[in-house]
Amino acid sequence: MAEGTGRRLEENGKKKIDPGSWIILLLVVILFVFLSATRSNFFTFNNIHSIIYGVSFNFFAAIGFTLLIIMGELDLSVGSLFGFGGAMMGLFVFSYKLPAGVAIALAMLVAALIGLSAGFLVVRFRLNSMMVTIGVMMTVKGINWMLVNKFSGRQLPVNARSFVSVDVFGIKWIILVMVIIAVVLEVLLARSRHLKQLYYIGHNVDTSILYGLNANQVKCICFAVSAALSAFGGALMTARINHPDVTVGSNLEISIITAAVVSGASIFGGRGSIVRTMLGVLFIFTLQNGMTSYGINTYVQQIILGIILILAIYLDIRVNAKKA
Partner 1 sequence: MSLDQSEFLRISNISKCYGVVKALTDVSFCVKKGEIHTVLGENGAGKSTLMKIITGETTPDAGTIELDGQQVKTFSPAAAHDMGIHMVHQELAVFENLTVAENIYPYHNSERAKKIDYKKLYQETQSQLELFGLKTITPDAPMASVTLAGQQMVEILRCIVAQPKVIILDEPTSGLNDSEAELLMQILVRLKNEGLTILYISHRLREIMQISDRVTVLRDGEFVTTLVNDETLTENDLINNMVGRDLSQSLYAIKTDSNAMREEVLLEVKNLAKKNALCSTGLKLHKGEILGVFGLEGSGTTKLSRMMYGLERKDSGEVYIEGEQVSRVNPRSMVQRQVMYLNNNRKSAGLLLDMAVTDNVSLPIVKRVSSRFGLINFKQLDELSLRFIKMFSIALPSLATKPRNLSGGNQQKVMLSACLAPEPKILIANEPTRGIDVGAKAEIHKFLLEIAAKGVGVIVFSSELPELMKLSDRILVMRNNSIAGEVACGDFTEQTIMRYAAVDVTE
Partner 2 sequence: MNLESLRRLGKKNELIAVVLCLALVILLTLRGGVFWTGGNLNSLQASIAPTAIMAFGMMLLLICGYFDLSIGSIMLLSGILCGKFAMMGLPIPLIVLLVLLAGLAAGCINGFLVSVLKINALIATIGTQYMGYGLAMTIWDQIRGFGKFSDSFIAIGEGRFLGLYYMTWIALILLAVFSYFLKYTSAGRRLYFVGGNREASKLIGFNDTRILFMTYALTGLLASLAGILAVARIQSPSQYMGDGIHMTCMIACVVGGGSFAGGKGSAAGAVFGVAFMSLLTNMFNLLEMKAQLQNVIVGLVLVAVIVMDGYLNLKKMREMGKI
In angstroms, give the least distance from the CB of 210 to partner 1: 5
Strand 10-11 vs strand 14-15: parallel, antiparallel, or unpaired?
Answer: antiparallel
In the complex with partner 1, the residue whose CB is nearer, 14 or 97, is 14
* Sequence-ordered list of residues with C-beta below 8 angstroms from that of 54, at least 6 positions apart, any chain: 285, 289
Question: Looking at 11-19, 50-58, 137-145, 212-220, which segment touches partner 2 (CB under 8 A)?
Answer: 137-145
Which residue type does 268 have? Answer: F
Torsion of CA 179, 249, 195, 184, to 10 degrees: 10
Look up residue 273 and give its DSSP letter.
-
In the complex with partner 1, the residue whose CB is nearer, 2 or 311, is 2
Interaction of residue 134 with partner 2, rule CB under 8 A: yes
CA dist list (Å): 238 to 17, 128, 284, 292: 40, 31, 21, 23
Interaction of residue 142 with partner 2, rule CB under 8 A: yes
Site string for partner 2, 227-256 (x = CB under 8 A): ------------------------x--x--
Of 25, 28, 143, 190, the residue at the interface with partner 2 (CB under 8 A) is 143
CA dist list (Å): 194 to 9, 81, 198: 21, 25, 8
Work out what residue 213 binds among partner 1, partner 2, none; the CB cut-off runs from 5 to 8 Å by kind. partner 1
In angstroms, give the least distance from the CB of 127 to partner 2: 4
Work out what residue 194 binds among partner 1, partner 2, none; the CB cut-off runs from 5 to 8 Å by kind. partner 1
Interaction of residue 314 with partner 2, rule CB under 8 A: yes
- Kindly report the three-state secondary structure assignment for every residue of 106-143: HHHHHHHHHHHHHHHHHHHCCCCHHHHHHHHHHHHHHH
Work out what residue 76 binds among partner 2, partner 1, none; the CB cut-off runs from 5 to 8 Å by kind. partner 2
